[in-house]
Amino acid sequence: MGRIFNRTMGLNSLGKALRRARLAGLVLVACLGLANPQPGRASDHADPTNLTDPTANITDLFFYPDGDDMILIFDVNRALLAPKPYDLAPYDYEIHMDLTTPVSFQDPVIRARYGGTVLVPDQIHPDVTIKVKLQDDVTVNTITYTGLKDTDKIKTYFGVRDDPFVFPRFFKKNVIAMVMRIPKSAFPADQHDFILWGTTAKDGTEIDHVGRSIRTQLPRFGFINTMPPKDQLKALMARKAKLDNIYNYLHSAKEWWAIAAADFLQFTLQLRPYDLQPDVMVYTDRFPVGYPNGRLLTDDVVAQTCAFGDCLLQEISFIEGPYPRATMNDKPFSAEWPYLAPQWPDQTPAPSNAHSVLPWVILGVIVLLLVSWGIVEIIRRLVRHLLRWWWRRIDA
């Protein structure tokens, strides 16, 4: 009886353990197949993954001096060809400026990448906010200024213009442009340094963010795209530590495929040491204007960013554009207000992609689940059979 009892208990325990293992395996496969820990959203132009809401997509932020004024240009809705009207009423377009958080220009490497070093990034805050709501015909609905003087002297333009980004994919395309000529008297006296960023929100929920051009177009920065700048450095440091651990673990493995996975992670998502800066634009009048010190319309930011380590868009511009690579906009800019080139003619938009890969993804997940279940079930039955055979030998 003792043997029978022990054998029964052993088989039951084994069965429970195998059932738990099978369940864990199924959960793991489901998580690997279905989980999407990072939304496929990124700001600016040529993000490798598409925004689901193009009207909210920020394409450009420009800021540069012109005489006694500062020119601010904020563009949204990339690859625009459709005629008016657009569905703009639900959106808030905001430009923020921090005029008081100190910026250092001592480190030449950081200055070359970011325009300067924000000394206390967790204290970044908006001293100035410009909030724009547009009508569906791209005329202004409301515009409010917080933190600025002489707002009656600010000149504004809202309309559809040529996309100013020097990048072949967006040649002969338009954007919705918001252009402002802000007198320097609107800012505090002797204001030298500016920290800027822009956001879009729909029905009060922030959707997109822009700071330094191209920054959040890169896949590794998608997770900070709806995060206030003051919170970004802490999040970047935490993400970098986590991904570094994963990379080191995979890269130290003996299997070739683990090393290959580590190399892919390093290229696409692993944060670089120079990434630990908040995503903001820095401008100062202490140095000549031009990316990354503010941004001029004529700046070839793709090439300038590549010179300091981020060449994804540079490669795409070679792949999609003719050789030699374009280094100027497809239309000349104007010396007259509002500076951006005239829009391209309206066109009937190309039909949306007609097919979806989701059914194939679901089918693949189902197949993986069935195969995983089958393997676990075979192992369970085999082990159970072997144990029964073993117990029969003991009983004999």
Render pLDDT for 212-225 as a digit per residue (tens, 0 to 9).
999 888 889 989 98
Give the separation between CA 53 and CA 202, rounded to whole angstroms.
Answer: 10
Give the separation between CA 303 and CA 306, rounded to whole angstroms.
Answer: 5
Q: Give the pLDDT confidence score for residue 7 in this predicted structure.
A: 42
The identity of residue 199, as a single letter, is T
Tokens describing residue 71:
């020119």
Provide the residue ranges of all domains of the chain, joining segments of one domain with +.
2-35+358-395, 54-227+280-320
Whether 214 contacts 241, CB under 8 Å: no
Whether 310 contacts 213, CB under 8 Å: no
Whether the upstream peptide bond of residue 324 has omega within 30° of 0, thus cis, is: yes
Q: Give the pLDDT confidence score for residue 8 in this predicted structure.
A: 43
Judged against a pLDDT cut of 60, whether residue 375 lies above it is answered with yes
Whether the upstream peptide bond of residue 188 has omega within 30° of 0, thus cis, is: no
Render pLDDT for 173-191 as a digit per residue (tens, 0 to 9).
999 999 999 999 999 999 9
Judged against a pLDDT cut of 60, whether residue 26 lies above it is answered with no
* DSSP codes joined into one string, 301-347: HHHHHHTTT--HHHHHHHHHSPSSPP-S-SSPPPSSTT-SPBPPPP-
The identity of residue 280, as a single letter, is V
Render pLDDT for 256-312 as a digit per residue (tens, 0 to 9).
999 999 999 999 999 999 999 999 999 999 999 999 999 999 999 999 999 998 998
Give the separation between CA 295 and CA 72, rounded to whole angstroms.
Answer: 10
